[in-house]
Amino acid sequence: MMWRMNVHVDADRCQGHGRCYLTAPGLFEADDLGSGRPIGDGAVPVALQHDARLAVANCPERAVSFEGT
């Protein structure tokens, strides 16, 4: 069984530094205010799981998270 990962951005914590979409542009994009948001449903392809972990580690507000099943 393959491990599935989804990324999330807590909009209340996000301050719009943009580190998530700069670190993992295949997973995040900027909204109209410059805050990060997951692209699509937040599903992370296996090839981008490392980028997802980097985005989580580089968010100064800890607004970016992931969960796996």
42-68, pLDDT tens digit by residue?
999 999 999 999 999 999 999 999 998
pLDDT of 1 strictly over 60: no
Instruction: For residues 12-28, give the mean pLDDT.
Output: 97
Q: How many percent of the chain have pLDDT more than 70?
A: 94
**Residue 9 contacts residue 63 (beta carbons within 8 Å):** yes
Q: What is the token pair recorded at 51?
A: 């980028």
The top-level CATH class assigned to 5-68 is alpha beta
